[in-house]
Each structure stands twice: as structure tokens, then as C-alpha cells.
Structure 1
Amino acid sequence: MADGSARDDKSAFAVLYRLSAIEVWERLSYYLLMTLLVLFLTAPVARGGFGWEAVAALSLYGGLVAAMQVLPVFGGALSDRLLGPARALRFGAVLMLAGHFTLAGPHTIPFVWAWCDPAFDRASFFATRTKLQFGMGDLADQLITGSFYTGLALVALGNALFKPNISAIIGRLPFANPASRDAAFSLFHMFANLGGLIAIVLGGWVAMRLGYGPAFTLAGFGMVAALVLIRRYRAAIEGAIVPMATGGAAPSPTLRTEGAAHGWILPASMVLIVVTLFGVTLFQMLGTLNLYAASRVEASLLGVDFPVVWILSMNPVVMLLVMPPLARLWRAGRGPGAKLLLSAKAATGFFFLAVAFAGLSLAEGLAGDARVPAGALAATIALITLAELLVGPSALSSITRIVPARHGALAVGLFYGALGLGGYLSGHIGASAETLGFGTVFMLIASACAATCIVLAGLQRAAARIGL
């Protein structure tokens, strides 16, 4: 590595770590919401939930996942054409901050109402309701559910601006080579999962001990921290964007050599197809597997019970254990998977997914009427995480490398849009467990992942010809 490339790589990683610190707090807010959403919607009204059926809760979850992932397509386009990535990042963070605090409305509105109207009896209000639905009931009902939907809308709109631009900025950094670039996106992904780990452990404890309102409020304070860091690192972030924002040359020869040509469309389309298929399986973790953990898994260790959502912490735990040494090796061009193209990594990832869901289906069948041990679900999530390590960061790195610089944020938005389409489908697939049963759904997912693995393995030569 030449001295200039080494200096550029070092400066690129310095900015990466600043952006990663911001991402930790933003992901804490995001994962706290997504981890608790289905549990909150299905919890009885008397226990602070909305009392929905599982099918309705999973349908809303799938729709929100889709919105969270598809809206960045428009947010990225708006950034590329009008706002610029740094400004869009700030605007998005402010909207998400407002959204997360608004989500605490269903739990603060009854207190405010009782303070304004002494005749309002909170206990009686919740005791006489089995379900809270949007647009139904009296004024108090509508304010409670309306604040919830308003909060979701603000978070989704803020995410549409924030999500594509923080990754697009990383895509514009002057990394020395493609392996270093993949390592950077993997490290960024690891820091995002650190935020997820804090959200699952702390958010699960707060929701269990204090209720869902304080848990959603905690998510709002996560965005406060993110905004403080955005302001503190503003100069470094905007400095990293200058070469692209002024129309200059790409900071590294590894970026978007296709330029004005249309040769990037086919490889980008292939990446998006893989990402969509991956999203269908990945988002089962916070939806179907979340409900499965609550209803079928024994959440205890050595006779001590713990919040069921803590089992999901296996995802960020594995990420934090595996990713740092792996990224260090990839940055140096060594280690398992360092020389593999995206098609090979994706085939391996879908193999892990097939094994994970087939194993969980087997555990469900063997358990019968008894609860499934927590270790079985934890092993499933660990395998899903290994697949995520192989597919997610490399696919995002590839899309930012392939697509021309002038469409940088839009490219990232399309990546998340494809992931969101998969998330939307995941909600419908998960909802079918009500009629088919968890074991059958898990085996169907395993079969689909195995088929995808075989197809990707067979297409490796063709994919290699277009750099995938």
C-alpha cells in the first residue's frame, strides 16, 4: 500500500469511527422500537399494550419494516438532488427524535388527561377496554392511538433521510482497496449491532420493570445523543463529503469506475435481488422469532427467569465477538471470506440460514407440548448473525461501489428498499404461523434458503464476470 493510500485509508477510518458512534445511538433507538413493537401491540391493555391479535401486530410490523426500508429510496433521491447528505442526516435525526418521544404518548396522554379532567379515571379507562385501535372509541382512545401512529410516521420519515445518507457518506470515503472498503462497512455494521445489543438488554429490562412508555422514551434519549454527536462531528463529516459534493473526482479508484455508462445497472439489480431474498429471512428475527420466543421458548437460565427479548441479544453479541478480528483481517486482505466475491458470500450465508431454520423446526417438533429451550433459539439467531455478517455489509459495500457517485444516496436507499421489501414479505410469512404452525413455517423458510443457496452457487461464474 502506497504512503498516500495508507494516509487516505487512515483518514477514511477516522471518519468511519465518528459516523459509527452516531450510528450506535440511532440504532439503539431503532432496535428498541422494533424489538418491543410486536410485544407492545399484543400485550393486554391493562398491562400497557394495545391488546391486538398476533396477525394484526405482525402485519403492522411488516408494514413498518417496509416503510423504514423503502422510504430511504425517496430520502436518498431528495438528498442527491436538493439537501445534500450532511443536511439530510441532521434533518432525519430531528424527525426521529420527535417521533420516538411521540411514541411515549399512549402512556403519557392518560396522565395528562387525568390532570386536566379530575373526572377521568385512568384505572377505569383501561379496565373497560380490551383493545385500542386507530380511529375507534372516544376522544381519549383516538388521542392515544393517534399519538402512536404519529410517532411511527415521524420515525419512518426521519429514517428515510438519515439511513441512506450515513451509509452514502461512508461510500464516499477514500478507502485504499475493496477489501478495506468491505471491512469498513462490516465495522460500521458491528457498531450498529452494538446499539442493538444495548437496546435489547436495557430496553427489555425497562419495559418489563417500568412499562413500555419509559422504554419508548429511552429511545428518544438515544436520538438526543445521536444529534449531539452529529453536531460535534459536523466538520469531519462535511469534510469527507467535499470531493463528491463539488463534483470532483472520486477519492479512490475503487469507487464507481462505470461512471456515466450504464454498465452498473445489471450488477446493481443482482445485488438488490439478493438483498430482497435475504431480508425475507433476516426480518423474521424481530417479528416471528420474537413472538415465538414469547410463546414457545423457556426464557430461563439455571432456574433464573429473564426478559424473553434478551434471547435476541445473541445477534449483536455474536456480531461484536466475530466482527472486530474479521474486519481487521479483511482490511489487510486476509482471513476467511476476504477473497470471496459477493455471490460466494451470499451462497454461504443462505446455507447458514437454511441450517438455522431447519434446526429450529426440528427443535419445535421434538419439544411437543413442552417449551423449547432458550439455547435452541439462541443457536438459530447465532447462525442468522453469521449469515448477516457475510451478506449485509458486503452487499452494501458493493452497491456503493457499483453505482455512480451522483446517485450515491439513492443507491443506498435502493439497497434498503430491497431489504424493506423482504421485511414486508417476512411479516406476511410470519403471520402464516397462526394457521400452519411455527415448525412448518420454519421448515418452509429453510427450504427456500437452501434453494437460494444452490442457485447462487451455480451462478458464481456468471456473477464474477460482472464483479460480483
Structure 2
Amino acid sequence: MSNNNKLLMGHPQGLFLLFGTELWERFSYYAMRAILVLYLTDRTINGGMGWTVKDALSLYGTYTALMYITPLIGGWLADNYLGQRKALLIGGFLMVIGQFTLALPHDFLPFSVEALFYTGLGFLIAGNGLFKPNVSTMVGDLYEDGDHRRDGAFTIFYMGINLGSLLAGVVSGSVTGVWGWKAGFVAAGIGMIISLIIQSLFAQRFLGDIGVRPAAHIAKENAKAAGKSSTALTKEEIDRLKVVMIMGLFVIVFWAGFEQAGGLMNVYSQQYTDRMIGSFEVPAAWFQSLNPFFIIVLAPIIAGIWVKLGPKEPSSPVKFAMALFFLAMGFVCMVGAVLEQGGDLTVKTSMLWLVGAYFFHTLGELCLSPIGLSLVTKLAPLRLASLMMGTWFGFNAISNYIAGLVGSHVESLGALDIFAGIAITATVSGVLLLIISGTLIRWMHGAEKAH
């Protein structure tokens, strides 16, 4: 718990500090993500890299996968050596270097364009690994075991993530339209600097001792005082970790489909969507802001529905199944867009198909992502808290790699087959999760009651 006991909206003030820290870090990430594939595929005469769509989507999948696998390493370092706060600051500084490296002009000193580009991505990947698992874990650390406010806290935190994402799509799409691709990377770097300033100035005041010492050291001292082993896992802990791992498999399916937003759906909005409103052409990058806009609008509504359901509120496995069904509905919209083209790639489709897809995908995300973050902090042993959060993001890594792999085959398989295949896979996975949900709840040993 934080040394600061003052509450804001019924929650510790440290929650809103972490909200602001994550908001600007996510602004940095999504500002870069919104333009990455478009930058890679744009012609060199326009300041782009001139890559093929296949190569760009393949790189995008590899990059996002690494962004989600490195938190495993960052979580382990924080748990055992650095502590969460120090890991977060080091990671943020590395990401600042990465963004401004990407912003350097193509003719900078003797370096090749490719060398600058891969160096920038490398700094971003390494920094993200230290930053991402630890800010989420500290949100859970603000609350004692059994505190009913924890799920609500992660919903508020998640709105911060998406407010940053909403700003990112609009800002990056606007500045690149005026000043070119490099301006988008500069904007992303500025967002990361703001995140670091917020954390550096206010962490001690609002978080107290949270995240200062490595969690493994604290757990070892607690176990020694209680006369217990600090390393051996109990049967209850093993069962709970099994739940995390099994739920993670369904997370892979969800995000493999959802992450087409930054890849294949991004390209689709650029090349095949009628983006004209009167005489104004909507920048393709702006569509990346639909998802966070819907989250900010829908999150309070969804949270209110859970509260109103009371004892009938669905369990986490059932919410995950609902997420998969919503994902499938979103890709049914994309199937409709392709069918509207009728096989003629010169036909531009209605923007409403994309809006519908992002709407349903957002409903699915709200049933899965904040619930999953909260679940990990409920089920993971203290000494493994950041490591398990890193593991959770590791499932996202696998799904992002799969997303890039699937999207890169659009020229051979066709968009219709890809969109329909994802819809069918998501539906089947949701049904399977409903079937095994009772067993998963039993393995949680009281972390969630059966409904």
C-alpha cells in the first residue's frame, strides 16, 4: 500500500499518477505504431522507406511481438534486482532515445537509413521491456488482497492507456501530414519525456515505498518471518498459475485478430476505404483513434453493467469468451467490406465497415484486457508479480507475431479469407472457453466466486 492514504474518486491518489505515467507512454507507443507501416510502405521520394506491404507487415509483427516478449525479462529484473520504479525510469529513458533515433534524418552522419531505423526500434523494444510490466504491477500493489476496488482501478487505468492512444492517432496523423514522417516520431518522443517527468516528480509523494524494493526480497523476508519457504509453490499457487497460463492461450487468439488494426486493417483503410467527407479526406492514421475513443465512451457503461448485474456478473472466463464473440462480429464487418468490393480492388468501400469493426473489437477488448490485468495481480504470488505480468504480455507477443504473419499473407490468401478465418477461429475458441470455465473458477481457489 502507498504511504499516501488520501483518496480521489474512492481510489488511492497513486492510481492517477500511474494513470498519467501510462497515458503518455501509450501516447508515445501508439503515435509511432499508427504511422510505422505507412512510413515503411511510402515511397522514398515522400520520405518513406519504400518497402513492400508484405515486408512491412512482417516487420510490424516481429516488432510488436518483441515489444510484448521483453517484459518477461524486465519483470524478472524488477522482481529480483531493480525494483519496479527504477526499472520503469530506465526503460522510459531508453524509449526516449529510441523515438528520437527514428526521428533522425535519413542522411544523418555516416549511418545508413536501415542502421538508424533498427537501432531506434532496438532501444524502444529494450525500454518497453523494463517499463510495461512494472507500471501495471504497481497498480495492483496499491490495493490489499481482496480489495473489491481492484477491477475498477484497472478499468480507470485502462482508460488512461486509451486516452493516450486516442491522442496519438490524431496527433501523429496530423503532424506527419504537415511536416512528414519524422515529425510523428518526434511527437512520440515528446510524449515519452512527459511520462518520465510525471513519474520522476510525483512518485515518492503518491506511491510511497511501492515499487522501490524488489518484490522477491520482500517476499523472502515475509516468508522467513512466517517460517515458510520463500521459493516452493503451494498447490493453490500452482492451480492459480495454471489458470493464468490457460487463459493466456485464449488471449493469443483474441489479440492475433485484434492487432490486425495496426497492420492489415491499417493498410485496408489507406488503400481500399473511401475516406472522403465532402472535400476533406480523413487521414488513415485517424482510424487508429476509433478504438480508444470507443473505449473512453464505453468503459463507464460496461463497468456500470457489471455493477448492476451484481451476483449475476459473469466470471472472468465468461467475459473472455464474450470478448472472442465480439471480435468475430468485428471481422464479419470486415468481410462485408470486402464483399462490397466484389473482387474489384479499385472500388473504395464505406468507412462504416471499419467503424463497425472497431466498435465490436472495442467491446471485446473491454471484456478481456483490463479484466486480464486485474486477474494476474489476483492470482500471481507476490514474489512473481512482475514476472507473471511479463508472462501475460508474453502471450501478446505471440499473438502480435501471429498477427503480422497472417496479415503478411494477404496477397496470397486474400483479405476475405483472412477476415473470415479470424471470425471463425474466434467463435470456436469462445465456445471452448465457456465449456471449461467452471474448472478454471475452481482452480482460482476463491479469487473469483462461481456465478
* Same fold at TM > 0.5: yes
Q: 1:342 to 1:21 in 2, by over 3 A?
A: same
Matched, 1:344 2:318: yes
Q: Is the 8 A contact 1:99 1:154 kept in 2?
A: yes
User: 2:38 corresponds to which residue?
Assistant: 39
Question: Equivalents in 2 of 1:327, 1:280: separation in Å?
Answer: 25
Amino acid at match of 2:372: A
User: 2:420 corresponds to which residue?
Assistant: 443
Question: Equivalents in 1 of 2:114, 2:157: separation in Å?
Answer: 35
Matched, 1:60 2:59: yes
How much does 1:292 deviate? 1.0
User: 1:398 corresponds to which residue?
Assistant: 375
Question: Equivalents in 2 of 1:77, 1:246: separation in Å?
Answer: 14
Q: Is the 8 A contact 2:85 2:212 kept in 1?
A: no
How much does 1:366 deviate? 2.1
Matched, 1:461 2:431: no
Q: 1:334 to 1:295 in 2, by over 3 A?
A: same
How much does 1:433 deviate? 1.1
Amino acid at match of 1:278: F
How much does 1:306 deviate? 1.6
User: 2:357 corresponds to which residue?
Assistant: 380
User: 1:269 corresponds to which residue?
Assistant: 245
Q: 1:460 to 1:320 in 2, by over 3 A?
A: same
Alignment of 1:282-301 (within 5 A): 282-301=258-277
User: 2:101 corresponds to which residue?
Assistant: 102
Q: Is the 8 A contact 1:284 1:427 kept in 2?
A: yes
Q: Is the 8 A contact 2:86 2:212 kept in 1?
A: no
**2:261 alignment partner, SS class:** coil
Matched, 1:186 2:155: yes
**1:417 alignment partner, SS class:** helix
User: 2:194 corresponds to which residue?
Assistant: 225
Amino acid at match of 1:407: L
Q: Is the 8 A contact 2:336 2:353 kept in 1?
A: no
User: 2:340 corresponds to which residue?
Assistant: 366
Question: Equivalents in 2 of 1:315, 1:91: separation in Å?
Answer: 30
Question: Equivalents in 2 of 1:43, 1:94: separation in Å?
Answer: 29
User: 2:125 corresponds to which residue?
Assistant: 156
User: 1:85 corresponds to which residue?
Assistant: 84
How much does 1:7 deviate? 7.5
Q: 1:407 to 1:11 in 2, by over 3 A?
A: farther
Question: Equivalents in 2 of 1:159, 1:31: separation in Å?
Answer: 13
Q: Deviations over 1:210-241 (max 9, x none)?
A: 10111101111111101110111220234334
How much does 1:9 deviate? 9.5
How much does 1:325 deviate? 4.6
Amino acid at match of 1:406: R
Q: 1:91 to 1:446 in 2, by over 3 A?
A: same
How much does 1:275 deviate? 1.7
User: 1:202 corresponds to which residue?
Assistant: 171
How many pairs does the alignment contain? Answer: 425
User: 2:280 corresponds to which residue?
Assistant: 304
Q: Is the 8 A contact 1:25 1:223 kept in 2?
A: yes
User: 1:131 corresponds to which residue?
Assistant: none
How much does 1:335 deviate? 5.1
Q: Is the 8 A contact 2:317 2:437 kept in 1?
A: yes
Q: Is the 8 A contact 1:357 1:446 kept in 2?
A: yes
User: 2:331 corresponds to which residue?
Assistant: 357
User: 1:13 corresponds to which residue?
Assistant: 12
Amino acid at match of 1:347: A
Question: Equivalents in 2 of 1:289, 1:378: separation in Å?
Answer: 11
Question: Equivalents in 2 of 1:178, 1:322: separation in Å?
Answer: 24
Q: 1:320 to 1:259 in 2, by over 3 A?
A: farther
How much does 1:323 deviate? 1.4
**1:75 alignment partner, SS class:** helix
Question: Equivalents in 1 of 2:147, 2:320: separation in Å?
Answer: 17
User: 2:228 corresponds to which residue?
Assistant: none
Question: Equivalents in 2 of 1:77, 1:306: separation in Å?
Answer: 43
How much does 1:188 deviate? 1.0
Residue 237 of structure 1, aligned match among 199, 202, 207: 207
Determine what percentage of the aligned residue pairs are the same residue: 31
Q: Deviations over 1:19-53 (max 9, x none)?
A: 01011110011001111110000000000110000
Q: Is the 8 A contact 2:255 2:396 kept in 1?
A: yes
User: 2:29 corresponds to which residue?
Assistant: 30
User: 2:180 corresponds to which residue?
Assistant: 211
**2:95 alignment partner, SS class:** helix
Q: Which moved more, 1:455-464 or 1:334-343?
A: 334-343
Q: Is the 8 A contact 2:318 2:433 kept in 1?
A: yes
Q: Is the 8 A contact 1:300 1:374 kept in 2?
A: no
In structure 1, the gaps of 5 or more residues are 1-5, 114-138, 251-256
Residue 334 of structure 1, aligned match among 284, 308, 319: 308
User: 1:133 corresponds to which residue?
Assistant: none
Question: Equivalents in 1 of 2:9, 2:340: separation in Å?
Answer: 52
Q: 1:11 to 1:336 in 2, by over 3 A?
A: closer
Question: Equivalents in 2 of 1:321, 1:292: separation in Å?
Answer: 25
TM-score w.r.t. structure 2 length?
0.88
Question: Equivalents in 2 of 1:386, 1:13: separation in Å?
Answer: 27
Q: 1:102 to 1:238 in 2, by over 3 A?
A: farther
Question: Equivalents in 2 of 1:241, 1:77: separation in Å?
Answer: 13
Q: 1:178 to 1:352 in 2, by over 3 A?
A: farther
Question: Equivalents in 2 of 1:56, 1:178: separation in Å?
Answer: 47
Q: Is the 8 A contact 2:14 2:207 kept in 1?
A: yes
Question: Equivalents in 2 of 1:165, 1:329: separation in Å?
Answer: 30
